[in-house]
Amino acid sequence: MKTLKKVSFFLFVFLILGFSFTVIAQTPVPSAEEEVIALTYKLWDAENQKDMAFRNKHVSDDYTEFNSVFSTRIDGKIKNFTLSDANFSGGTSLADEMLNPKVQVYGDVAILTYNFAGVVKDNDGKTRSSKAKSTRVYVKMSGEWKLVHANFALDPTED
Amino acid sequence: MKHFKLISIIFLFAAFVSSTFAGDKEDVLALVSKNIDAFNKQDYKTYFSSFVSDNTEFPYVVSPLRHDAAMWKNFIEGTASLAYVNYHQQDSEVQIYNGNTAVITSYYTFTWMEKGGQMNYQTGRSSMVLVKQDGKWMTAHMHFSKMF
């Protein structure tokens, strides 16, 4: 009887372990493509929620940017944050979406390209849309994706 | 005379060392320069020899849509019908990561003449991403945008 109990116990443990391993093995590991797309949505959310710590963590110190507000390249994370925060005209972002996204991965670099589509509600209650063609370059540093460069350009059809 | 010989030897050695151990930034800029030269000479074989097979581009005004490798090849080879092309890049900055990724940002002017003689001019900003494959720098992505 004692032996039977022992066998039942070990069988139970064995089945639990087997089930756990199966569940872990079946949990899909996100691809680099999925990771950088998810990170971009999180960065937009962090900007809307004023979560500067998250933004700071995923943008490299030597980050450079071309955008649709200033003609020339803006060098460095601090300068970029200072200008983008000062330029923010208020209102609420109602939607930030990437259309037609594509990620090219080469080892520890990921190039994300997409057409940006956004809707903002201004302080006076009016909504306006914005669209752009965007490139983001992420590099994996110490196991984390960091944004090193972006080109946020006007959609040529708005030119 | 002795001093001259010694200085010459030091100079030649220094030149040899600097060319042998040129850094990634110099290599990347040399490749970009070579590609621009090939494009201006309408030598498309050389131009495309340093592109990854799945390269992508955002052109300047043609479309808001991203070009894939085939679309970009058609677009570039289409410039063969022009009487003259000249692309010039300036104030390039290079960011290197892990010795295998380069981001080059620049300002450019593009001048072209159609067969009928009409001259056109465009100026803008460019972002390029190069990756090292089998020890060779290759262009993976380019984004051309308006400088307003």
pLDDT digits (tens, 9 = 90+) for B109-122: 999 999 999 999 99
**What pLDDT, on a 0 to 100 scale, did the predictor assign at position B63?**
79
Whether B2 is covered by a domain: the verdict is no
Is the CB of residue B130 less than 8 Å from the CB of residue B96?
Answer: no
A interface residues, B as partner, C-beta within 8 Å: 62, 64, 66, 71-73, 75, 100, 102, 104, 106-109, 111, 113, 115, 131, 133, 135, 137, 139, 141, 148-149, 151, 153-157, 159
Residue A43 identity: L
Kindly tell me if the per-residue pLDDT of A121 is higher than 70.
Answer: yes
- The count of domains in chain B is 1
Q: What is the distance between the alpha carbons of residues B85 and B120, in angstroms, rounded to a whole number?
A: 10
Q: What is the DSSP letter of B1?
A: -
CB-based contact B129:A111 (threshold 8 Å): yes
For chain A, give every domain's residue range.
32-158
Q: What is the CATH number of domain A32-158?
A: 3.10.450.50
Q: Are B144 and B60 in contact (CB under 8 A)?
A: yes
Predicted confidence band at B19 (pLDDT cuts at 50, 70, 90)? Answer: very low
Q: Which CATH number goes with the domain that contains B60?
A: 3.10.450.50
High-pLDDT (> 70) share of chain B, %: 84
At A41-68, the pLDDT tens digits run 999 999 888 898 999 999 999 999 999 9
DSSP A60-117: EEEEEEE-SS-SS-EESHHHHHHHHHHH----EEEEEEEEEEEEEEETTEEEEEEEEE
Q: Is B14 part of the contact surface with chain A (CB cutoff 8 Å)?
A: no
Whole-model pTM? 0.84
Residue B28 structural domain: 24-146
Q: Is residue B16 in some structural domain?
A: no
ipTM rounded to 2 decimals: 0.85
The strand pairing partners of A102, in sequence order, are A113
